[in-house]
Amino acid sequence: MSMSRSRNSRLPPCPWLLLVVFLVSEFPSNSYADVGTSARYAPPYLPTTCYGGEATQFPSSNLFAAAGDGIWDNGAACGRQYLVRCVSAEQPRTCIPDQSIQVKIVDYASSAVSAASAPSTTLVLSDKAFATIANTSAALINIEFQQV
């Protein structure tokens, strides 16, 4: 008994090694994505900080967003496109599995005409955009996002 225990304790830390290998192998698929949060907002969407009252600013898909302070970049974010995926939320099963969207930044979250469903998020998604990746009962989701 004591011998097998001492043999066990001299084993290399295999579980740790496996964990490291697992983490490294999982990483490449997400290496360009950042994590953040998203709220949603509803019409009216005009005017926006980026394009004023120009109705043609919205992509025909209606997948667009207002940028939070983290990505607003002093207005340089206007027109940027982001791939967004819902990863989790407080309520289980909020995220719609295997859905991602591409949104265009048209506004600054802090000055958008309509209030966001939650404050201080990375991206405030149009109602269409939010509904494509998550249950709209949620006010706040955790996201993975990357600029396209």
Ligand X SMILES: *[C@@H]1O[C@H](CO)[C@@H](O)[C@H](O)[C@H]1NC(C)=O
Binding residues vs ligand X (CB under 6 A): 91, 135, 137
Q: Shortest approach of ligand X to residue 91 CB, angstroms?
A: 5
Q: Which is nearer to ligand X, 62 or 91 (CB)?
A: 91
Q: Shortest approach of ligand X to residue 88 CB, angstroms?
A: 14
Q: Shortest approach of ligand X to residue 116 CB, angstroms?
A: 19
DSSP string, 113-127: SSPPSSSS-SEEEEH
Going by C-alpha positions, the residue among 143, 57, 69 that lies closest to residue 106 is: 57
Q: Which is nearer to ligand X, 29 or 137 (CB)?
A: 137
d(CA 33, CA 117): 24
Q: Which is nearer to ligand X, 9 or 137 (CB)?
A: 137
SS3 state at 131: helix
Q: Which is nearer to ligand X, 56 or 137 (CB)?
A: 137
Q: Shortest approach of ligand X to residue 92 CB, angstroms?
A: 9
50 in Cβ contact with 105 (< 8 Å)? yes
Q: Which is nearer to ligand X, 37 or 48 (CB)?
A: 37
Query: Maximum CA pair distance of the chain?
Result: 79
- CB neighbours of residue 48 within 10 Å: 21
Q: Per the structure block, which two tokens stand in for 88?
A: 């989790």
Location of structure tokens 């969207």: 101
Q: Shortest approach of ligand X to residue 37 CB, angstroms?
A: 18
